[in-house]
Amino acid sequence: MTFAGHCFRCGAALAAAPPCVCGACGYEQHLNARPTVGLIILDGAGRFLALRRARAPRAGLWETPGGFCDGWEEPADAARREAREELGVEIELGAFVGMYLGGYEFQGELLPVLDCFFLATLPAGAPLLVDPVEASEYAWFPLADPPPLAFGTMDRALRDAVLLAG
Ligand SMILES: [Zn+2]
């Protein structure tokens, strides 16, 4: 795990990785996983919706839609917002699948992320308007037989979704 080695508040060099206390300003350092949401959107016929990533990291690989929660945003609200932004639809949020610890390469750091997955469905007949900045195409794959996915937490969530949706 990459750590910059500086106090989050005053920027002084730290003697150890968090958890620790800054020797310069006394600020307690904690490195916490950042929450994200992931959507396992089901079609009612045993398939889920995947997007092909258009940008780094892991560009070109398939993924489930989703993204980071904003500071005070409820994960369920973040899930609906991400569907609006990435797919142009109002999803119907279903059961909570689970939370999984992963890593995300961002701005030269490997961040711990806590990926929160929900089942979801699309409104009947709604056209998908995939954001081309985020994804180059979309496809439906069997829930029980996914393609190689961008992040390991997605594989774990899909396995649990099979049991939940079964
Ligand atoms: Zn400090």
CATH number where 160 lies: 3.90.79.10
Q: Same domain for 72 and 101?
A: yes
Q: Same domain for 25 and 68?
A: no
Q: In the prediction, which pLDDT does 108 show?
A: 87
pLDDT in tens, 105-159: 988 889 999 999 999 999 998 899 999 999 999 999 999 999 999 999 999 999 9
Q: Same domain for 49 and 65?
A: yes
Q: Same domain for 63 and 21?
A: no
Ligand 1 centroid to residue 43 C-alpha, Å: 50
Ligand 1 centroid to residue 17 C-alpha, Å: 13
- Spatial separation of the C-alpha atoms in residues 166 and 162, rounded to whole Å: 6
Ligand 1 centroid to residue 73 C-alpha, Å: 28
Ligand 1 centroid to residue 21 C-alpha, Å: 8
Where in the sequence is the domain holding 60, given as residue range(s)?
A: 32-165
Q: Same domain for 98 and 120?
A: yes
Query: Which residues have their alpha-adjacent CB atom under 5 A from ion ligand 1?
Result: 7, 9-10, 12, 22, 24-25, 27
Q: Same domain for 84 and 40?
A: yes
Q: Same domain for 126 and 155?
A: yes
Q: Global pTM? A: 0.91
Categorize the per-residue pLDDT at 1 as very low, low, confident or very high, splitting at 50, 70 and 90. very low
**Any residues with CB less than 8 A from the CB of 66 and at least 6 apart, and which?**
36, 37, 38, 39, 79, 82, 86, 115, 117
Ramachandran class of 37: left when φ > 0, alpha when ψ lies in -120 to 50, beta otherwise: beta
- Res 25 pLDDT > 50: yes
pLDDT, the chain, mean: 94
Q: Same domain for 7 and 79?
A: no
Extract the runs of DSSP E, i.e. beta strands, from 54-144.
Answer: 62-63, 66-68, 92-106, 109-121, 135-142
Q: Same domain for 68 and 123?
A: yes
- Spatial separation of the C-alpha atoms in residues 1 and 16, rounded to whole Å: 13
Q: In the prediction, which pLDDT does 2 show?
A: 43
Q: Number of C-alpha atoms within 13 angstroms, CB side, residue 57?
A: 13
